[in-house]
Amino acid sequence: MDLTRFSTPQRVSGIAILVVALAAFLPWVSIFGISVSGIRGDGVITLVLAVLGAVALATRTGLLPQLRIPAKASLVASLVLAALVALIGLLDMNGAAAIGLYLTLFGGIAWVMGGLLELKDARQGTAVTSS
């Protein structure tokens, strides 16, 4: 795969999406040695949002050329998905939070930042590519 087609903000978003997807399977809560993975709760939602975000990123970068979605619409959708992931991570945060929940929160924040940087580049007309 040719990674040169990805801008730096798209790489940040892509890595953050992978972190969010992986975090769904890790422990979100741990207390007295007993832990519960995210997939048994809100991790299912964040996993679905990460998959949708990966599809949006793939359409913007031309990895899925058969899907015809405008790049800006895909970017806005990705930003909404990223904000939802970060919000879920923030709302679920508690005193018994484990690594999966922290990774979800930080991955969501990084995804939002990558999306905002990509939006800034798109407004300047430098980065959003659609093949």
Task: Give 42-101 pLDDT, tens digit per residue.
Answer: 999 999 999 999 999 888 887 777 777 777 888 899 999 999 999 999 999 998 899 999
Among the listed residues 113, 108, 82, 91, the one whose alpha carbon sits nearest the alpha carbon of residue 23: 108
According to DSSP, residue 40 is labeled G
Residue ranges of domains in the chain: 8-29+40-124
Among the listed residues 75, 97, 89, 96, the one whose alpha carbon sits nearest the alpha carbon of residue 47: 89
Whether residue 131 has pLDDT greater than 70: no
What is the reported pTM? 0.86
Whole-number pLDDT of residue 6: 84
Query: What's the mean pLDDT when you consider all of the chain?
Result: 88
